[in-house]
Every structure is written in structure tokens, then in C-alpha cells.
Chain A
């Protein structure tokens, strides 16, 4: 009988397992049916809520708003317990924040605060602000804390005028002293920003309260890099920084690890709720930007909230249910959301590639590995890859093809493409999945299969490489699989390897890989120069922990000389010559190969609560940076509730 029981139990277990698998997979279709009801009720409730808020907003005066803020600050503890923020005052984001916020420190090296901070060319301007905002659509800098900037004639000094209306969240004036102290602190404690900029900037000085003077290093002149100080570095308050230094005893590690939860900031939002369920920032109704010299009003949503989702799929479900307004996630066949499901969801463009593609996720070859130090091997792999398959399936069609935009060091935007003479390098381009060409190239170079195992040898050793990128990054993982499939066609053994993100970062930044994948910098004041640096910079390669580019340690003196010359060059014809030459080296030597084009940020918006998001054809010149980054934050001031 015991045995019998065991049998029955094991059968029960099996069926339970299979059932759970069924349930796990059928879950998707299950949710879509069950979600209809809550979505409907939510719509109804927002409608009524909208009416009431409209009445109240009309009635409120400045005094009452002040009172309201006081009330809400008192309420913070209650809200932190998980009380919901009103839906019609909250803008929900997805795809930026993947865990409990660990700090608010712009100097931190391991901050996960994606909701508030992203100090790249289009910096996230919600909590901290930069001097200027970058607009990736026209490549211009727009004033924020700074009102204007000018270079002196020999490009050694950059004078920045500050907006006299700019104030800190504690009500004090934002001055040039703060700009200078921000830079000095970054350098003093050697944060990554400090280490980066101190090689190009001699000093930042306060001329008077509203004028800051940035002096470039004369022996390492790079006006492009110095200009990027304006739109990538978050401004911090001198008085607050001194407080932080004091409480950490001026210890570099302690200062960089300070959580800065009590920070003083200039941006329109401040911390509100942060736990493992969601992160919310709340509007500062005394925000200086409501001065006429800046926006003239406050951003529309009172709260910006980010639910912490388990994975992309959870975020996507929330988007389709209208629980998320702005979604920074890769969505397979995104067009089906409106074409087939009829949801009020749209992207930047109505047709493929749906987003504003700016960057090129590229695979780097480790040129220090035997086999990959041969340019024929690198180029053969590059030629054999089926890029159209990567674009169509791995990227779900959300990228233009390499036929439309041939390969080069520059991205797919017109502003960058004018710097390359594509006719001059057309003979170096290869056709898609050119397996025959790749085989011929390898045969010619004498890299053949001598022992008959189907794998070519170099120096008597099988060519066998690992192509790696972080696990769970589905479009990248699929791309690497397609690269691996290409390897099979040309007798090179390529295996995919998808470790956890942290161990991938270790491998990539220390050049401990065969083939790895990373994305070029997005649009910015330094582009396409920063893309050139990304592919070729020897300086980057020499960094002990290299996050910037040239991960495969490819050294080319010609490329290096060009990279040195570009920053100070202003003649466009000369620049075109430089970038064309860089592209030629890139295609000939293949130290890295672009696999697809991609937007810096994915952008899909659901208009069930908010509307008037930026769209490509609305003529407002606001970039699709999820209403948070660079000049894209301008969208927050134009949002409207759906009637």
C-alpha cells in the first residue's frame, strides 16, 4: 500500500507540475480577460475625479497651494505606508527603476536611482538639474539653470550666465559658487564625473553670483567635452555638500556612499515614497522654474510614480491596462497594442521603427584574444551575421536596416550622417549575411579547418569564442544567438553566454571576454565624436575599469590621431574627412560591429489618463525621452488629462 501511495503521490506531483506550467504560461491570456473589469472601473473613476479636480484647481489660490503642500508633507508618513496617490495627479513610468532606491547621490558609483538620476547627455531633470538641457531632435542646448554660455576665441574659457531666478528647494539662491563647488567636490572625491572631467577642465570659478567661468586644460584642449559639462553634470548646493562632507569626515568613500536622502535640489520634484513596491517623487510647488524666465508654470502631474515591476512582461501588462502612462521598455510587436488590441497606446512614430533611433548596440571583439587579434576573423564574423534577421526578429522590426543606413561610426540621425562621405566607403560595406564572402576571406587568409572537425584553426587552435551579454536582456540575447548561428556557417564556434548583469559588467569593463555587446553613447553635444571615442579611444582602453568604450582594447595610431584632432576642428569639410576615415578603419579592421540601430530610450505612452505627449508629427520639437530626460521634460508642462 505504501508503494501505491508513493505512486499516487508522484503522479499527483507530475500533474501538479504540468498544470503549474500550463497555468504559468496560460497566465498571459488569463490576465487579459480578467483585467478588463478593473480597467473599466478605473476609467469611470478617473472621469469623475477629473471633473472634481478641475473645479478645485480653478478655485485654488497660491495661498491654498502652500497650505496643501504643508499638508502633504505632514501626510508623508501616511503615504509612505503605501497609500495611493490620486491617479489623475500621478504620472506612472515603467522601465526606469528596478528596485528600492538606494541613494540620491549624484557622486555615487553604484546608484540604482533610475527614477531621478541619469547623468548622461540627455540628463534626467526631475530632481537634480543640469545647467542646460540637451534636445536630441535639433542637437541644441536649451537653458535651464544656466541662461546662456559663450566660448572665448581660442576655446580655453567657457563663460556661463546663470538664471537669476534659480533657487534651491530650501529657498536659497542658486549661485555660481554652487557650480564651482559642485565641480571641486567631484574632483576632490574623485567620483566618476570628477575623474572624467578633471582631465579636460582646469577649474570652475565663480566670477559673480550669476556668472561661472569654466577654464579648459590648455594641454588637453577638448571644447566638446568641456561643453558637455553643461548638460551632463547635476548641480549640487555648496552649503549642503559641506554638510555631507562634514558628517562623513571628508572621507572619499563615505561621501560617495552617502545616501543624501535629505538633499537640497533645484528640480521640480522631490523624494516622496520609496520602497520595494514603488518609488514616487512629489512636485515641489515652490519650484523656481515657475518664474517667467523659465517655464512660467509648474509641471502638470503632482506625482511621478514608478511601480517596481518584476520584469518587462509585468511592465508591459501594466502599460496595456493603463496602469502605466510612459513605458521605457522594449515591447515585442509593439504595433499590435494599437492595431490589434485597439488600445490608446502610441509610440514616437506610427510605423517601424516606432522610436527615434540614435544609438548602435555593437559587438566588441577582444583584440587581445588569439584569433580575434586577426582582422580577417573579426571581419568574417561581421560579414556572416544576418543583420536583417536581428533587426526583424530580435529587435521586432524596431530599427532601420543597414541597407537604409549603411554602417559607419555615426548614428542614423541626419545631424550625424552629414559628417561621413558614404560613397567613399561604399566598397567596404558588406551585404547582409555574406557567408560566402566571409568563408572566402578566411580561406584566403589561410585560416582553414585542417583537422576536419568543422571548426577552423588559427595557430593550431580551434577558433572558439564566447559571445556574452547580460541575462534577461531579451533583444540582446536573441541578437547574440543570431551571431552564434552565423559562426556555425563559417566554421567558427561561437557560444552564447548570458551571465548576471553584474558579472557581465566585470567582464566587459576589465576586457575579460571574447565577444561582448554594448551600446554607443546616445545623441549629445559631443556626437558623433563620442561615438568615435566609443569605438577607438586608447584612453578608454587604458582605464582600469572601463565603462566608456573600446572594450576590446583595439589600438590604432591613425584613429587615435584623428580623435585628438577632432575636438578643436571647426571646419566641416575637415571633420567629414576625419569621420569618413574613422568609418573606413571601423569597417576594414572591425574592432567592433554595430548590430542594429536603437533608440536611447524606448517610448510607448498610454493615453487613458494623460494625453498630449510628444509625437514625431506634433511640431513641438520635444524629444521622446519619456518626459523626463533633457529637453524632453518640457512635455511634463504640456500634459493634459484625457477628457
Chain B
């Protein structure tokens, strides 16, 4: 036994897969110890806040400020006036305001802005502009006005009569130490409900692993039992079992999965239920392969010897046959776990997974990201880490499986 384990861990493929899987598993276990927040708490009011650290503006405005004479790399105005904007302004000045092209020098920011200010008026309706363009110019004008303002934002407070009273001026050299203010870091941003994607992702991986494990165990248990019985007993029992198995193999199991999930209804679909549903629809191929293995084993000498000794059928199955296919069963289970996780993701993506408000699963995260078209908005953090994680889990499990195969199947050794 010890030797086998040693051998297994000598396989590079297995080790690699094992390390990846363990890392995922450890993260899932350790992360919640440090981050105790509810993964389903809706923090952000809005869709898909981008990754980063969010600092409280109110506290920043009120807390102690430090004056830092950091040389600015470029003025605020230069920052607003990138090449495209300059071209836009030039176009406007020529087409709408009728300024001669020779008068415009796009390299001179100050000059361009003064020409802009002299010729642009927000309330005028310029001919030949689309509404979108008109609105864009209005926004540009606001940006230029803001950039031209001298340093200083005034903070004012309402007094008892409701009049505004200046309480503080914030200059552009004022800085705040990030440690002085409340911050919240979203390493992977937020999702469409405003939930922290990283925390949710960890919780989702946990439930997906649970579902996968449950589904894998159930599928393997059913498959193994039926396979052993069919293979060893043969005859009528074999015919009946293999008939049922063939039936299930012919009907795509995903269709059965959808039908069962739909009929179970939303209320009952927790993690356990989804795991069970996936488990009881994905056993046929384990049955078939276990059966064929058993058939080849049942005429071996040691089995015949046991039969002659009068051992009961169950004893023969469990002591003389099962150990010989144990390694195979373990490998089959790993594959079942991996496909269970994928099946959950597929189910949730069509809205037949567990309830959104009660659990986070990888599939549910994908489903909501798609519904709120994260893939169209460029909100990669809402779906890409999920995809990567699903891929990593399947990849590591499959790698472990191949590694095991090489160890247990001498034909495959290099």
C-alpha cells in the first residue's frame, strides 16, 4: 500500500494535478477563515464594479490631509486633450464654428481651449451634428471647464438655515494616507448584484466541489454495484442490468438531467439535491466498464478457487474481484467528480441549478454574468475567473487520473 502511494506520487502528471487540486482545496478551506463576510452580501450598488481598492470619499475629504509637492507629469488640461479630442475640437471649430483651419494649432493646448471656449456654447444647437455628437461635445466642454479650473475643490456644509457654508478647500497638492480612511478591496471586482466576486468565487468553488464529490460518489456507487452484479452473475441478471444501462446510455444523460431538475422545482434544488440528481443520471458508463472488467476477472483461477471453497457470492465479489478493479474505480470516480462539476455549471447556466440567494455555485455565477451581458460590457472579472477555475478543476482531476492510469496500468508506462 505504502509502496503504491509512493509510486503514485512519483508520477509527474499525478503530482502536478494533485498540487493544483490541493491548492484549490486549501484556498477554499483557508480563505473563509480570514474573510468571514457573507459571500452573497450585495455590497456594490450597481453592476460590475471593476477590480481595485475603493476608498471612502467622505472620509478622504474629512481626514487629515498631507501636502505633497509631487511634480505633475502633465497638466490636467493636457490629460483631457488627447490626440483624438484635439481632432474632434478641430473638426468642430472648422465645420460648425467656421474658424479657418489656418488659425487652429492643435499642438497648442492653451490656444485650442481658448478657441473652443470662444466658439462653443452648450445651449446653441449646431447644425450637422448628431445627437450623440452634440451630447459628447457637451461632456467634453464640461471636462475642459473642470480641467481649466485652478486648484481647489470647495467642501461646503449646510447650516441650520440651509445655506451652504464653506468648510474646507481641497487643493491639488492635498493627499490622504490610504491607512487613514476606510477602504474595501475587491480583488476581482463585483458581479451584477454587487457581490464581491472573489469571496463568491471561493464559496462557489466549495459548493461546486461538494456537488461534484456527491455526484461522483453516487454515480460511482451505483455504477460499481450494478457493474459488479451484472459482470459476476451473468445470465438473466446481466441481461436485465445491461438492458437498463443501454437505455440510459442511448438517451443523452443531460436531457434526463434537465427533465429531472425541472420537475424537482426550484425550492428543493439545494446543493445536495443537485448533486444527487447529477449522480443518478451519470452512472451508465461506469457500469459498463466495471462489468467488462469483472467479466474478464470472474474466470481467473483465484476466483474459481474461492467458488470451490464455497464462499458466498458477496464475499467473492468483495474480496476476490473488487480489489483488482479498485484502482480503476478510483480513476473512474475522479472523472465522475470532474464531469459532475461541469454538469452543475451547465445546469445552472440554463437556470436549473440551486437557488441564487441561498448558495453560490460556479454555474450560477456564469449564468448571471451572461444575463447581464458581462461578456459584452468587457467585465471580464465576472466570468473569466469562473471559467478558469472550472477548467483548472477538471484539468487537475483529469491529470491525476492519467497519472494514476500510468501507475496502475503497466502497459502505459514509458
Contact of A191 with B by CB under 8 A: no
Contact of A86 with B by CB under 8 A: no
Known: A10-B335, A25-B370, A478-B192. A333 touches B357 (CB 8 A): no
Set A11, A26, A392, A611: member contacting B46, Cβ < 8 A: A392
Contact of B65 with A by CB under 8 A: no
Known: A4-B409, A392-B45, A482-B42. A313 touches B193 (CB 8 A): no
The residues of A that contact B47 with a CB separation of less than 8 Å are 332-333, 393, 396
Known: A350-B135, A392-B46. A28 touches B375 (CB 8 A): yes
Q: Is the interface of B mostly helix, strand, loop or mixed?
A: helix
Is A466 a contact partner of B395 (Cβ separation < 8 A)? no
A sample of 6 cross-chain residue pairs with beta-carbon separation below 8 angstroms, ordered by A number, consists of A26-B387, A338-B135, A481-B356, A605-B131, A607-B131, A643-B128
**Which stretch (A14-22, A365-373, A415-423, A523-531) binds chain B?**
A14-22
Is A14 a contact partner of B338 (Cβ separation < 8 A)? yes
Q: Tell me the smallest distance from the CB of B391 to a CB of chain A, in Å.
A: 4
Q: Tell me the smallest distance from the CB of A444 to a CB of chain B, in Å.
A: 26
Q: Which residues of A contact B (CB under 8 A)?
A: 1, 3-4, 6-7, 10-11, 14-15, 17-18, 21-22, 25-29, 32, 312-313, 316-317, 320, 331-333, 336, 338, 340, 342-346, 350, 386, 388-389, 392-394, 396-397, 464, 466, 471-472, 474, 477-478, 481-482, 484-485, 488, 495-498, 605, 607, 611-613, 615, 618, 642-643
Set B128, B130, B194, B377: member contacting A336, Cβ < 8 A: B377
Set A29, A350, A393, A615: member contacting B378, Cβ < 8 A: A29
CA distance A612 to B342 in the complex (A): 49
The residues of A that contact B372 with a CB separation of less than 8 Å are 332, 396, 474, 478
With both beta carbons as reference points, the residue of chain B lying nearest to A2 in the complex is identified as: B292
Is B193 a contact partner of A481 (Cβ separation < 8 A)? yes
Is A393 a contact partner of B44 (Cβ separation < 8 A)? yes
Q: Tell me the smallest distance from the CB of B411 to a CB of chain A, in Å.
A: 7
Is B355 a contact partner of A344 (Cβ separation < 8 A)? no
Q: Which residues 358-380 of B sit at the A interface, judged by CB distance below 8 A? A: 358, 366, 368-378, 380
Is A3 a contact partner of B409 (Cβ separation < 8 A)? yes
Known: A6-B289, A338-B132. A333 touches B48 (CB 8 A): yes
Other 16 A-B pairs with CB < 8 A, given A346-B132, A481-B193, A485-B357? A3-B409, A4-B409, A4-B411, A14-B339, A25-B366, A28-B375, A313-B376, A333-B47, A333-B377, A340-B378, A393-B193, A396-B47, A471-B351, A478-B368, A496-B355, A611-B130
Q: Which residues 78-96 of B sit at the A interface, judged by CB distance below 8 A? A: none
Contact of B133 with A by CB under 8 A: yes
Contact of B245 with A by CB under 8 A: no
Set A316, A338, A394: member contacting B376, Cβ < 8 A: A316
Most central of A320, A333, A481, A605 by chain B CB within 10 Å: A333
CA distance A320 to B377 in the complex (A): 11
CA distance A14 to B132 in the complex (A): 47
The residues of B that contact A611 with a CB separation of less than 8 Å are 130-131
The residues of B that contact A4 with a CB separation of less than 8 Å are 405, 409, 411-412
Closest 10 CB pairs of A and B: A28-B375, A392-B45, A607-B130, A344-B132, A474-B371, A18-B391, A611-B130, A484-B357, A346-B132, A485-B357
The residues of B that contact A615 with a CB separation of less than 8 Å are 131
With both beta carbons as reference points, the residue of chain B lying nearest to A488 in the complex is identified as: B357
Is B376 a contact partner of A344 (Cβ separation < 8 A)? no
CA distance A340 to B379 in the complex (A): 12
Q: Tell me the smallest distance from the CB of B340 to a CB of chain A, in Å.
A: 12
The residues of B that contact A317 with a CB separation of less than 8 Å are 376
Contact of B401 with A by CB under 8 A: yes
Contact of B266 with A by CB under 8 A: yes
CA distance A317 to B370 in the complex (A): 13
The residues of B that contact A25 with a CB separation of less than 8 Å are 366, 369-370, 375, 383-384, 387
The residues of A that contact B338 with a CB separation of less than 8 Å are 14
The residues of B that contact A612 with a CB separation of less than 8 Å are 131
Is A14 a contact partner of B192 (Cβ separation < 8 A)? no
CA distance A32 to B374 in the complex (A): 13
The residues of A that contact B44 with a CB separation of less than 8 Å are 393
Is A28 a contact partner of B45 (Cβ separation < 8 A)? no
Contact of B258 with A by CB under 8 A: no
Known: A316-B373, A496-B355. A607 touches B383 (CB 8 A): no
Is B387 a contact partner of A495 (Cβ separation < 8 A)? no
Set B194, B265, B266, B398: member contacting A389, Cβ < 8 A: B194
Q: Which residues 166-189 of B sit at the A interface, judged by CB distance below 8 A? A: none
Q: Which residues of B contact A (CB under 8 A)?
A: 40, 42, 44-48, 128, 130-133, 135-136, 138-139, 192-194, 265-267, 289, 328, 335, 338-339, 342, 345, 351, 355-358, 366, 368-378, 380, 383-384, 387, 390-391, 394-395, 398, 401-402, 405, 409, 411-412
Set A346, A481, A642: member contacting B357, Cβ < 8 A: A481
Is B411 a contact partner of A393 (Cβ separation < 8 A)? no
CA distance A11 to B395 in the complex (A): 9
With both beta carbons as reference points, the residue of chain A lying nearest to B195 in the complex is identified as: A393
Q: Tell me the smallest distance from the CB of A403 to a CB of chain B, in Å.
A: 13
CA distance A344 to B88 in the complex (A): 14
The residues of B that contact A7 with a CB separation of less than 8 Å are 401-402, 405
Known: A3-B409, A485-B357. A393 touches B194 (CB 8 A): yes
CA distance A466 to B376 in the complex (A): 31
CA distance A392 to B132 in the complex (A): 24
Is A497 a contact partner of B131 (Cβ separation < 8 A)? no
Set B46, B128, B339, B373: member contacting A313, Cβ < 8 A: B373
Set B45, B342, B398: member contacting A393, Cβ < 8 A: B45
Is B398 a contact partner of A11 (Cβ separation < 8 A)? yes
The residues of A that contact B128 with a CB separation of less than 8 Å are 643
Most central of A6, A17, A464 by chain B CB within 10 Å: A17
Is B375 a contact partner of A27 (Cβ separation < 8 A)? yes
The residues of B that contact A482 with a CB separation of less than 8 Å are 42, 193
With both beta carbons as reference points, the residue of chain A lying nearest to B268 in the complex is identified as: A495
Is A642 a contact partner of B375 (Cβ separation < 8 A)? no
Known: A3-B409, A642-B130. A29 touches B267 (CB 8 A): no
Known: A14-B339, A25-B387, A484-B357. A392 touches B375 (CB 8 A): no
Q: Tell me the smallest distance from the CB of B384 to a CB of chain A, in Å.
A: 7
The residues of A that contact B132 with a CB separation of less than 8 Å are 338, 343-346, 607
With both beta carbons as reference points, the residue of chain A lying nearest to B135 in the complex is identified as: A350
The residues of A that contact B357 with a CB separation of less than 8 Å are 481, 484-485, 488, 496
The residues of B that contact A345 with a CB separation of less than 8 Å are 132
Most central of B368, B369, B372 by chain A CB within 10 Å: B372
Q: Tell me the smallest distance from the CB of A231 to a CB of chain B, in Å.
A: 27
Is A393 a contact partner of B130 (Cβ separation < 8 A)? no
The residues of B that contact A312 with a CB separation of less than 8 Å are 373
The residues of B that contact A642 with a CB separation of less than 8 Å are 130
With both beta carbons as reference points, the residue of chain B lying nearest to A611 in the complex is identified as: B130
The residues of B that contact A497 with a CB separation of less than 8 Å are 265-266
Q: Tell me the smallest distance from the CB of B60 to a CB of chain A, in Å.
A: 22
Is A389 a contact partner of B267 (Cβ separation < 8 A)? no
Most central of B351, B368, B371, B383 by chain A CB within 10 Å: B371
CA distance A261 to B40 in the complex (A): 52
Q: Tell me the smallest distance from the CB of A474 to a CB of chain B, in Å.
A: 4
The residues of A that contact B377 with a CB separation of less than 8 Å are 332-333, 336
Q: Tell me the smallest distance from the CB of A439 to a CB of chain B, in Å.
A: 18
With both beta carbons as reference points, the residue of chain B lying nearest to A4 in the complex is identified as: B412
With both beta carbons as reference points, the residue of chain B lying nearest to A643 in the complex is identified as: B128
Q: Tell me the smallest distance from the CB of B218 to a CB of chain A, in Å.
A: 19
CA distance A481 to B194 in the complex (A): 13
Q: Tell me the smallest distance from the CB of B338 to a CB of chain A, in Å.
A: 6
CA distance A642 to B133 in the complex (A): 11
The residues of B that contact A498 with a CB separation of less than 8 Å are 266, 351
Q: Tell me the smallest distance from the CB of B398 to a CB of chain A, in Å.
A: 5
Is A496 a contact partner of B373 (Cβ separation < 8 A)? no
Is B266 a contact partner of A495 (Cβ separation < 8 A)? yes
Most central of B42, B133, B342, B366 by chain A CB within 10 Å: B42
Most central of A15, A340, A386, A495 by chain B CB within 10 Å: A495
Q: Tell me the smallest distance from the CB of A480 to a CB of chain B, in Å.
A: 9
